[in-house]
C-alpha cells in the first residue's frame, strides 16, 4: 500500500498541525509531504486534485481520495493511526478539548488581522483584541485545567491545534512589539503557550523563519502575493531564509526592497 | 443517575440539531430539555452555569459539567450514546461528512444575513450569495454522493447539522421570495434538502412556526431584541404562534405593529 500524501506550504500553521500530530504518533515517516510554492500559481495537477480550490493543506489518501481542512485531516490521521491516541477518549474530556479547539478561528483571525494591518491608528484596538483572545484562553484553562501546563496530562489535541499559532505570533512580537503582559490574568495561558512552544513534537519552525517569511504579511500581502515595487515574495523558497538578513521592523514607516530582504 | 439537561431556545436551529440526534438514537426522553425565553435577559442562575456567556444551546452533564457549542454537544451525545451511531465510523467516510459539516458556517451566515438585510439594493447580491452556497453543496454531493438522496445510506451526521438550516430558510421563501431555481446545477442539493426536511427525525418545527417567530429577524432584530415602536418580540412564548396571524411579507415597505402580529 502506498502512503497518504500531504500537500502543504512551508511555515503554514494549518499544515504544521498535521506534522505535529504525526510526530506525536511517531508516524511522520509514513506520510509523504510535498511542498507547494505559493509564490507561483497553483499547478494544474494540484487544482485537478482539489477540483479548483487553492487552500492547503490537503491530504491525498493511499487510494487517491482528497481530504481538505486541517481539522478534518487531523481527525482522519487520528482515525487511521489509532495507536498513541492524541484526542481524548472520555466523552467529557473530549468535549472539553473540542470546546477549546473551537476558539481557534477567532484567535487566528485576530493575530493575522493585526499583523496585516497598515493603519497605525488601529494598532491599539488590535492589541486590545489580541489581549482579549489570550484572556479568553486563560479563563478557559483556569476553569478546566488550573494546574497545567497542558489541558490534560500531556500535549494533546488542543495543543496540536493551537501551537502553530503561538509560534506564528512571534511575528507580532517582532513587527508589533506585542508581548503578553506579565499580569496574573494571563499567567495560566502564558504557561500553556510556553509549554506548547517548548514541546519536542512542535519544533518544525523557528522564530527566525517565521519573522523572515512573514515580512510581506506584515505589509498586508498574504498568500505569496507581490507587494508594489517588489519582484519576489518573502514567502519564496529561494534564497533560503537562513541566508537572508532579518527584515526591518518598522512596517508602518518603511517598505523594504527585495535587496534589503536578501531576496 | 440523573439525566443530562439541555437549555435551549424554541426554533433555534443549533438547538434542533441536538433534538434530531437524540431522536435518531431513540434517546430523546433521556435528556431534559429546558426552554429559555430569549425575549428576557438571561436569568442569573443560567449565567452562573455558563460563566457569563449567553449563547445557547448548552448541555449540563449528569454530574454538572457545562458543554457549549452545538457541534461539541452533538459529539458528546454521540459518545455517551454510542448505540445507533449517527456519525460514520470508517475514517474516509467520517472525513467526508466532516468536510461537508465544515461548510455549515457560511451557509448559515448567508441565509441569516439575507433575512436580516434592510437594504433593497442588496437583495440581488444576497440572492446570488445564497445560490452560490447551494451550488457548493450541490458540487460536494455530486462528488461524494451522486445518487443520493443522503450523503450516505441514511440521514446521518451531516443531515443532522444542516436540516435545521434548511427548515429555517423557509423564512427566505416567505420574506424574500427565494426558491431554489429548477435548474440542473441545483438538482442534487434540492433532492438532499427535500429528503432532509421530510425525514421523521427532523419534524421539530414547521414552516408556519419559523415564519411567525422570525418576523423580527426579517426586520433586522435578532436574538429576541425589540424593534422600535414594539412592546413584544415575535420570538415571545405568548401568545402561542399558532394563535397569531401570518405576518405581512413586505418587510422592505412596512413595519408590522404588535397588533398586526397578534402579539
Which ipTM value was assigned to this complex? Answer: 0.94
Calculate how close chain B gets to A92, using CA atoms only, in Å. Answer: 7
CB–CB contact A75 B65 (8 Å): no
Q: What is the pLDDT of residue B2?
A: 76
On the 0-12 / 13-18 / 19+ scale of CB atoms within 10 A, A78 is buried
- The count of other CB atoms within 10 Å of the CB of residue A173 is 14
Question: Is residue B223 predicted with pLDDT exceeding 90?
Answer: no
**Taking CA atoms, what residue in A is nearest to B98?**
A72
- The count of other CB atoms within 10 Å of the CB of residue B176 is 21
Q: What is the pLDDT of residue A55?
A: 92
Q: What is the pLDDT of residue B104?
A: 97
Q: What is the pLDDT of residue B155?
A: 98
Calculate how close chain B gets to A91, using CA atoms only, in Å. Answer: 6
Calculate how close chain A gets to B65, using CA atoms only, in Å. Answer: 8
Q: Are B82 and B21 in contact (CB under 8 A)?
A: no
By the CB < 8 Å criterion, does A83 face chain B?
Answer: no
By the CB < 8 Å criterion, does B91 face chain A?
Answer: yes
From residue B215, give the alpha-carbon distance in Å to each of A25, A156, B254. 52, 45, 12
CB–CB contact B76 A92 (8 Å): yes
Calculate how close chain A gets to B156, using CA atoms only, in Å. Answer: 17
By the CB < 8 Å criterion, does B35 face chain A?
Answer: no
pTM of the model: 0.95
On the 0-12 / 13-18 / 19+ scale of CB atoms within 10 A, A247 is buried
- Comparing B11 with A10, the larger pLDDT belongs to B11
Q: What is the pLDDT of residue B143?
A: 96
Which of B98, B106, B132 to mutate: most A Cβ within 10 Å?
Answer: B98
Q: What is the pLDDT of residue A1?
A: 56
Confidence of residue B135 (pLDDT cuts 50, 70, 90): very high
Which domains occur in chain A, in start order? 5-80 (3.40.30.10), 91-202 (1.20.1050.10)
Q: Span B227-252, mean pLDDT?
A: 96
Question: Is residue B1 predicted with pLDDT exceeding 80?
Answer: no
Chains A & B: contacts with CB separation below 8 Å: 60
Q: What is the pLDDT of residue B214?
A: 97
Calculate how close chain A gets to B99, using CA atoms only, in Å. Answer: 7
Angle in degrees, CA A24, B99, A160, rounded to 5: 20
Calculate how close chain B gets to A93, using CA atoms only, in Å. Answer: 9
Q: Are A229 and A216 in contact (CB under 8 A)?
A: no
CB–CB contact B67 A99 (8 Å): yes
CB–CB contact B75 A92 (8 Å): no
By the CB < 8 Å criterion, does A127 face chain B?
Answer: no
Confidence of residue B25 (pLDDT cuts 50, 70, 90): very high
Which of B25, B72, B143 to mutate: most A Cβ within 10 Å?
Answer: B72
Instruction: Give bridge partners of residue B7 from the DSSP assignment.
Output: B34, B58
Residues above pLDDT 70, as percent of chain B = 100
A-chain CB neighbours of B98 within 8 Å are: 69, 71-72, 75
Which of B69, B91, B94, B101 to mutate: most A Cβ within 10 Å?
Answer: B91
Q: Which of A80, A92, A94 sits opposite B91 (nearest CB)?
A: A80
pLDDT in tens, B175-212: 999 999 999 999 999 999 999 999 999 999 999 999 99
By the CB < 8 Å criterion, does B132 face chain A?
Answer: no
A-chain CB neighbours of B102 within 8 Å are: 69, 71-72
| C-alpha–C-alpha distance, residues A162 and A189, integer Å | 12
Q: Are B28 and B22 in contact (CB under 8 A)?
A: yes
Per DSSP, the three-state class of A15 is: helix
pLDDT in tens, A83-105: 999 999 999 999 999 999 999 99
CB–CB contact B95 A75 (8 Å): yes
Please provide residue A5's backbone torsions phi and psi, each rounded to the nearest 5 degrees. Answer: -120, 135
pLDDT in tens, A153-206: 999 999 999 999 999 999 999 999 999 999 999 999 999 999 999 999 999 999
Residues above pLDDT 90, as percent of chain B = 94
By the CB < 8 Å criterion, does B73 face chain A?
Answer: yes
Q: Record the cell numbers describing residue B229, joined without a space.
A: 415602536
Calculate how close chain A gets to B183, using CA atoms only, in Å. Answer: 21
A-chain CB neighbours of B136 within 8 Å are: none
Q: Span B230-244, mean pLDDT?
A: 95
By the CB < 8 Å criterion, does B99 face chain A?
Answer: yes
Residue stretches of chain A with pLDDT short of 50: none
Q: Which of A51, A71, A99 sits opposite B69 (nearest CB)?
A: A99
Q: Which of B65, B79, B95 sits opposite A72 (nearest CB)?
A: B95
| C-alpha–C-alpha distance, residues B70 and B17, integer Å | 7
Q: Which of B69, B72, B102 sits opposite A72 (nearest CB)?
A: B102
Cell 435577559 appears where? B41
| C-alpha–C-alpha distance, residues B235 and B128, integer Å | 28
Q: Record the cell numbers describing residue A263, joined without a space.
A: 531576496
B-chain CB neighbours of A51 within 8 Å are: 139, 143
Amino acid at each position: 500500500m502506498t502512503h497518504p500524501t500531504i500537500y502543504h506550504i512551508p511555515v503554514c500553521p494549518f499544515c504544521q498541525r498535521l506534522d505535529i500530530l504525526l510526530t506525536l504518533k511517531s508516524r511522520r515517516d509514513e506520510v509523504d509531504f510535498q511542498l507547494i510554492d505559493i509564490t507561483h500559481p497553483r499547478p494544474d495537477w494540484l487544482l485537478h486534485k482539489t477540483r479548483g480550490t487553492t487552500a492547503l493543506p490537503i491530504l491525498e489518501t493511499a487510494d487517491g481520495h482528497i481530504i481538505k481542512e486541517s481539522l478534518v485531516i487531523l481527525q482522519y490521521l487520528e482515525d487511521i493511526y489509532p495507536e498513541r491516541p492524541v484526542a481524548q477518549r472520555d466523552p467529557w474530556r473530549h468535549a472539553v478539548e473540542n470546546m477549546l479547539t473551537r476558539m481557534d478561528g477567532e484567535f487566528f483571525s485576530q493575530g493575522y488581522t493585526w499583523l496585516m494591518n497598515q493603519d497605525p491608528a488601529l494598532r491599539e484596538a488590535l492589541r486590545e483584541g489580541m489581549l482579549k483572545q489570550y484572556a479568553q484562553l486563560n479563563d478557559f484553562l483556569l476553569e478546566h485545567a488550573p494546574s497545567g501546563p497542558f489541558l490534560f496530562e500531556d500535549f494533546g489535541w488542543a495543543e496540536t491545534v493551537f501551537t502553530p499559532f503561538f509560534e506564528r505570533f512571534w511575528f507580532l512580537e517582532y513587527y508589533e512589539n506585542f508581548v503578553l503582559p506579565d499580569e496574573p490574568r494571563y499567567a495560566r495561558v502564558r504557561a500553556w503557550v510556553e509549554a506548547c512552544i517548548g514541546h519536542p513534537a512542535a519544533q518544525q519552525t523557528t522564530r527566525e523563519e517565521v519573522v523572515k517569511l512573514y515580512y510581506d504579511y506584515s505589509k498586508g500581502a498574504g498568500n505569496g502575493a507581490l507587494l508594489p515595487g517588489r519582484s519576489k515574495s518573502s514567502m519564496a523558497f529561494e534564497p533560503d531564509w537562513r541566508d537572508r538578513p532579518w527584515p526591518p521592523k518598522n512596517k508602518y514607516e518603511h517598505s523594504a526592497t527585495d535587496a534589503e530582504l536578501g531576496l
